[in-house]
């Protein structure tokens, strides 16, 4: 566990600030960023970009303009979209000068490689360091500009309840930006995924918003899979569909023509114990006769009735295992029982996992469990 945590911190250290996170990084009230010098910006215009730079960076600005246009050509073709306005690109000569910027509010940490504003759409980044990684940051940020533009992300939209791209999970947005700027074969992401598989910790899509899964790497891996399996031209339609009522899950089903069903196993009990049928009404319990399941109150551990609407924690006992029987194993998953009959004819109870026991807040309102990491954007798992 410790190792994962430190790895996440390290990875954040070399990556970019997510669009949603910029807002969250609130400095001390009334305290401005220290600016050690005044930057006299000039503007260089390319076909789609206004590149802001200071005179001694003219060569770098010219190069940045060329690189930005290359990304623009690629993304406008791939996403079938032209940005509605000219795109501002503000360049700083070094990381420390970039962190003095007053273009974006809030402190930019050492780990922030670049920023794209959701509403004013300005891309700000240091044009410094190895050209390859600068090119990647530039591509990544230009993907964000397209994401905001395609989804009409704006302050007025947000005021009217449509947050556009900001309504989508980080893994969706950042993963896409990483995939489109790094391509399908990123050794860094591959390393993370191999380790995740080796540890049997590869999450399903529903759990990708858990902060333990670094959204850049896991999100990129998912988009690389989608791109490889269904084609990169699915990326744009998925983005457009995901901000609608159906959400990203509905978008995956409709645009990719797949049925998203869930399966679940518990490493210590059985590799596969629950599975959803095509009716998508929750996972049927499939271990009858081999595993005895009880439902308990996660706080008091009092037994609960397995009946529609009950929310509790599952406890497992193996019935047929001889070498290493397990008695009353606390799985840690908080589930809701969906019912005991189904159109498919199975009569075993159906359940959905709401989250992990340790992710719950101490609050429990009408059997509603709220995931701690969801509180910031007030989504309740009910
Ligand atoms: Zn980003
Ligand atoms: Zn069924």
Torsions phi, psi of 365, nearest 5? -115, 120
Q: How far is the CA of 46 from the centre of ligand 2 (A)?
A: 57
As given in the structure block, the two tokens for residue 220 are 């990129």
Q: Is 331 in a helix, a strand, or coil? A: strand
- DSSP secondary-structure letter at 118? S
Q: What is the band of 34 on the pLDDT scale with cuts at 50, 70, 90?
A: low
Q: How far is the CA of 154 from the centre of ligand 1 (A)?
A: 17
Whole-structure pTM value: 0.73
Least confident window among 40-49, 191-200, 230-239, 363-372: 363-372
Q: Which ligand has the minimum distance to the alpha carbon of residue 349? A: 2
User: What distance in Å separates the CA atoms of residue 144 and residue 139, rounded to the nearest whole number?
Assistant: 9
- DSSP secondary-structure letter at 325? -
User: What distance in Å separates the CA atoms of residue 352 and residue 369, rounded to the nearest whole number?
Assistant: 13
Q: Which ligand has the minimum distance to the alpha carbon of residue 216? A: 1
pLDDT at 268: 85
pLDDT tens for 208-221 read: 888 889 999 999 99
Q: How far is the CA of 344 from the centre of ligand 2 (A)?
A: 4
Residue 11: pLDDT over 50:
no
CB within 5 A of ion ligand 1: which residues?
16, 174, 177
Q: How far is the CA of 266 from the centre of ligand 1 (A)?
A: 34
Q: How far is the CA of 16 from the centre of ligand 1 (A)?
A: 6
pLDDT tens for 63-80 read: 999 999 999 999 999 999
Please say whether the beta carbons of 176 and 235 come within 8 A: yes
Closest CA to 82 of 163, 149, 151: 149
Q: Which residue has the higher pLDDT, 378 or 125?
A: 125
Question: What's the half-sphere exposure (Cβ side, CA atoms, 13 Å) at 142?
Answer: 32
Q: How far is the CA of 170 from the centre of ligand 1 (A)?
A: 9
Strands (E), the chain: 42-45, 49-53, 87-92, 115-116, 123-126, 263-266, 270-276, 283-285, 291-296, 303-304, 311-318, 329-339, 350-356
Q: How far is the CA of 287 from the centre of ligand 1 (A)?
A: 42
Provide the sign of the torsion angle of the four alpha carbons 376, 377, 380, 381, taken in this order.
Answer: negative
Residues 6+ apart with CB under 8 A from 325: 318
Q: Which ligand has the minimum distance to the alpha carbon of residue 284? A: 2
Provide the sign of the torsion angle of the four alpha carbons 10, 13, 15, 21, taken in this order.
Answer: positive
Compute the residue count for the chain: 382
As given in the structure block, the two tokens for residue 102 are 């007053």
Q: Which ligand has the minimum distance to the alpha carbon of residue 220? A: 1
Q: How far is CA 212 from the centre of its chain?
A: 11
Closest CA to 74 of 256, 212, 236: 236
Q: How far is the CA of 356 from the centre of ligand 2 (A)?
A: 24
Closest CA to 150 of 76, 220, 87: 76
Q: Which ligand has the minimum distance to the alpha carbon of residue 350? A: 2
Q: Which residue has the higher pLDDT, 37 or 9?
A: 37
User: Which structural domains are found in the chain, ordered by start?
Assistant: 2-256 (1.10.390), 263-377 (2.30.38)
pLDDT tens for 244-301 read: 888 998 999 999 999 888 888 888 888 889 999 989 899 999 999 999 999 999 889 9
User: What distance in Å separates the CA atoms of residue 216 and residue 301, rounded to the nearest whole number?
Assistant: 37
Please say whether the beta carbons of 280 and 261 come within 8 A: yes
Q: Which ligand has the minimum distance to the alpha carbon of residue 346? A: 2
Residue 356: pLDDT over 50:
yes
User: What distance in Å separates the CA atoms of residue 380 and residue 357, rounded to the nearest whole number?
Assistant: 15
Q: How far is the CA of 113 from the centre of ligand 1 (A)?
A: 9
């Amino acid at each position: 566990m410790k190792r994962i945590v430190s790895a996440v911190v390290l990875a954040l250290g070399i990556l970019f600030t997510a669009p949603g996170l910029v807002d969250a990084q609130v400095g001390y009230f009334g305290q401005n960023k220290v600016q050690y010098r005044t930057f006299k910006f000039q503007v260089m215009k390319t076909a789609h970009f206004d590149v802001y730079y200071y005179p001694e960076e003219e060569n770098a600005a010219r190069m940045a303009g060329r690189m930005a246009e290359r990304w623009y050509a690629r993304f406008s073709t791939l996403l079938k979209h032209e940005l509605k306005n000219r795109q501002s690109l503000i360049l700083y000569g070094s990381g420390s000068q970039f962190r003095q910027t007053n273009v974006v509010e809030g402190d930019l940490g050492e780990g922030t490689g670049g920023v794209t504003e959701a509403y004013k759409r300005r891309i700000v980044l240091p044009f410094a360091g190895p050209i390859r990684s600068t090119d990647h940051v530039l591509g990544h940020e230009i993907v964000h500009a397209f994401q905001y533009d395609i989804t009409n992300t704006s302050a007025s939209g947000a005021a009217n309840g449509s947050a556009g791209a900001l309504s989508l999970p980080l893994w969706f947005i950042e993963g896409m930006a990483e995939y489109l700027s790094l391509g399908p074969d990123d050794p860094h992401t591959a390393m993370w995924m191999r380790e995740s598989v080796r540890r049997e910790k590869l999450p399903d899509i529903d759990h990708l918003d858990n902060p333990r899964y670094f959204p850049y790497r896991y999100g990129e891996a998912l988009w690389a899979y989608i791109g490889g399996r269904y084609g990169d031209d699915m990326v744009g339609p998925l983005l457009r569909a995901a901000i609608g009522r159906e959400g990203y899950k509905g978008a995956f089903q409709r645009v990719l023509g797949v049925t998203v069903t869930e399966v679940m196993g518990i490493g210590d009990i059985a590799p596969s114990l629950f599975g959803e049928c095509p009716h998508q009404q929750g996972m049927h319990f499939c271990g009858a006769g081999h595993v005895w399941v009880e439902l308990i109150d996660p706080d008091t551990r009092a037994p609960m009735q397995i009946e529609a609407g009950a929310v509790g924690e599952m406890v497992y006992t193996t019935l047929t295992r001889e070498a290493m029987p397990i008695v009353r194993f606390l799985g840690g998953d908080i589930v809701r029982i969906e019912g005991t009959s189904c159109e498919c004819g199975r009569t075993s109870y159906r359940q959905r996992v709401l989250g992990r026991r340790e992710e719950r807040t101490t609050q429990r309102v009408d059997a509603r469990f709220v995931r701690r990491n969801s509180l910031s954007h007030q989504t309740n798992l009910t």
